[in-house]
């Protein structure tokens, strides 16, 4: 049966838009209520998770510690300590901070707060996640490799020097857990569970639907993984989006369509209004948009060529978007599509190797790549060019030739 479009007429579109706008303002109103509670007192005490911790220096040479914290209340903020603190990333702290300069806009974004004190929260026993992290770390010799695999499997933060090396290669999207990883994990789980399910299905319940049952099991396992990750924002939004996509699929509604993408993005912003100011979220949306654009115009190609060309397509068309925020460019980034394709077998292989305590086998090769020397340039997309480019990107939904024109237009950023 052919999938039906999400909207059948303009009336359905208008009704949907009206409901989405109403729900968004209700959600925003709830966030404003929580904001008013936060600033109701001049000082606020919060239990928070340390997302990042690094040292900086003033012009006079005085050092201070910078903390990026995620509160139990769901917001993220920065603060500093003028005394050196040995508080590791991932640990919990009690922090008391001033609320007088926090506006509602800053509350929705990542605000800065002047802290009165930061005290480590001493857990009575080591939690499950830290035990697994230690098992992963023990399979690697260098601190850099330990950080990379903790980030790859547990969405942990990476120190700036390692982050710069990853950005130099253009593979930040491979290290940071996102929808790409969720998709790979889902496929791995499905193909591992499918033979077991079919064995019992043939004997005991042939009337059951394998796709529906395995989807339920896979989503349950993914939720457990998300719980271990302490509900990492990037994984959480990908999980919600996947649930929404499966719901549409179960109703025989066409998933790969721009109407579905718009509704999914709206749904995410209603649930998490803070994502309006999340760069990583809009990068994800842009990436999915260009994937859909490719599939709309070139879905009839051979599957092998779709896999190969899609990686180059997304990399090239994301150039103006990425360089509007991140100006760093190296010639090594041009190999990013190839590394993205190699990552598809590499990721499940590394999962297996870490399960059998052999996770450090490829450390030498990974370190060699990270330490490759290359020229570094700063390339920034002008605002006028980005606006024009995004306008043409939307217009290219209706034109294959215009979509192809985006390729040299995107690459022109490097030429300029």
Predicted pLDDT at 62:
81
Contact 234, 176 (CB under 8 A): yes
**What phi and psi, each to the nearest 5 degrees, are found at residue 328?**
-70, 130
CA dist 73 → 9, 23, 87, 397 (Å): 41, 21, 21, 40
What three-state secondary structure class fits 73? coil
Predicted pLDDT at 126:
54
Helices (H) and strands (E) in the chain, counts: 17, 8
Q: Residue 239 and residue 235: Cα distance in Å, rounded?
A: 6
* C-alpha 220 chain-centroid distance: 20
Q: Comparing C-alpha atoms, which of 317, 296, 369, 327 is closest to residue 5?
A: 296
For 295, counting Cβ atoms within 10 Å of its Cβ (0-12 exposed, 13-18 middle, 19+ buried), the class is: middle
What three-state secondary structure class fits 253? strand
Q: Residue 262 and residue 267: Cα distance in Å, rounded?
A: 9
pTM of the model: 0.84
For 10, counting Cβ atoms within 10 Å of its Cβ (0-12 exposed, 13-18 middle, 19+ buried), the class is: exposed
Predicted pLDDT at 151:
85
Contact 91, 133 (CB under 8 A): no
Place of tokens 């995410």: 268
Angle at 139 between CA 136 and CA 141, to 5 degrees: 120
Contact 169, 365 (CB under 8 A): no
Cβ contacts of 390-398, under 8 Å, gap ≥ 24: 390/321, 393/289, 393/290, 393/293, 393/317, 396/293, 397/258, 397/293, 397/296
pLDDT by 10-residue block (mean), the chain, 416 residues: 70 88 93 91 88 80 86 85 79 88 89 88 67 86 88 81 86 82 87 89 83 88 84 76 81 80 87 85 88 90 90 92 89 90 90 89 90 87 92 92 90 76
* C-alpha 221 chain-centroid distance: 19
CA dist 202 → 134, 195, 209, 351, 398 (Å): 42, 11, 12, 30, 46
Contact 408, 389 (CB under 8 A): no
> What DSSP state is assigned to residue 4?
B
For 390, counting Cβ atoms within 10 Å of its Cβ (0-12 exposed, 13-18 middle, 19+ buried), the class is: middle
Predicted pLDDT at 125:
52
Pairing mode of beta strands 115-120, 63-71? unpaired
Residue 106: how many other CB atoms lie within 10 Å: 16
Predicted pLDDT at 26:
94
Task: List, in order, residues 6 or more apart from 226 with CB less than 8 Å away.
Answer: 232, 235, 236, 239
Residue 391: how many other CB atoms lie within 10 Å: 10
Pairing mode of beta strands 76-81, 111-112? parallel
Contact 162, 148 (CB under 8 A): yes
Q: Residue 203 and residue 388: Cα distance in Å, rounded?
A: 59
Q: Roughly what angle, to the nearest 10 degrees, separates helices 233-250 and 258-271? A: 130
Predicted pLDDT at 104:
92
| Domain 39-120: CATH architecture, name and number where available | Beta Barrel (2.40)
> What DSSP state is assigned to residue 65?
E
Predicted pLDDT at 2:
62
Q: Comparing C-alpha atoms, which of 280, 371, 253, 366 is closest to residue 8?
A: 253
């Amino acid at each position: 049966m052919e999938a039906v479009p999400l909207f059948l007429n303009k009336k359905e579109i208008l009704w949907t838009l009206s409901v989405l706008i109403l729900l968004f303002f209700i959600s925003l109103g709830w966030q404003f209520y929580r904001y008013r509670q936060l600033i109701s007192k001049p000082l606020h005490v919060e239990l928070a998770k340390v997302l990042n911790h690094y040292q900086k220096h003033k012009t006079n040479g005085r050092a201070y510690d910078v903390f990026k914290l995620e509160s139990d209340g769901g917001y993220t903020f920065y603060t500093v300590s003028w005394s050196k603190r040995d508080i590791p990333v991932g640990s919990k702290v009690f922090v008391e901070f001033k609320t007088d300069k926090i506006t509602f806009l800053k509350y929705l974004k990542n605000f800065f707060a002047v802290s009165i004190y930061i005290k480590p929260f001493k857990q009575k026993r080591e939690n499950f996640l830290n035990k697994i992290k230690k098992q992963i770390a023990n399979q690697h010799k260098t601190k850099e490799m330990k950080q990379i695999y903790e980030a790859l499997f547990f969405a942990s933060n990476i120190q700036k020097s390692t982050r710069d090396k990853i950005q130099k290669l253009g593979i930040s999207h491979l290290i940071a857990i996102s929808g790409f990883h969720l998709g790979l994990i889902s496929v791995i789980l499905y193909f591992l569970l499918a033979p077991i399910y079919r064995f019992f299905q043939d004997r005991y319940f042939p009337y059951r639907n394998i796709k529906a049952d395995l989807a339920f099991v896979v989503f349950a396992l993914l939720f457990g993984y998300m719980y271990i990750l302490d509900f990492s924002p990037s994984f959480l939004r990908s999980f919600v989006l996947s649930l929404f996509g499966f719901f549409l699929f179960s109703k025989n509604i066409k998933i790969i369509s721009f109407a579905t993408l718009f509704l999914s993005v709206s749904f995410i912003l209603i649930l998490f209004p803070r994502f309006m100011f999340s760069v990583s979220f809009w990068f994800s949306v842009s990436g999915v948009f260009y994937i859909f654009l490719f599939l709309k115009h070139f879905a009839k190609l051979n599957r092998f060529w779709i896999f190969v060309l899609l990686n180059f397509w997304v990399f090239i068309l994301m150039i103006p978007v990425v360089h509007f925020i991140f100006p760093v460019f190296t010639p090594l980034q041009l190999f990013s599509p190839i590394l993205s394709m190699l990552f598809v077998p590499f990721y499940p292989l590394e999962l297996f190797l870490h399960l059998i305590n052999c996770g450090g086998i490829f450390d030498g090769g990974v370190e060699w790549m990270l330490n490759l020397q290359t020229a570094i340039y700063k390339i920034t997309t002008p605002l006028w060019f980005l606006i024009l480019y995004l306008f043409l990107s939307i217009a290219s939904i209706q034109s294959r030739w215009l979509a192809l024109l985006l390729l040299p237009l995107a690459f022109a950023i490097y030429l300029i």
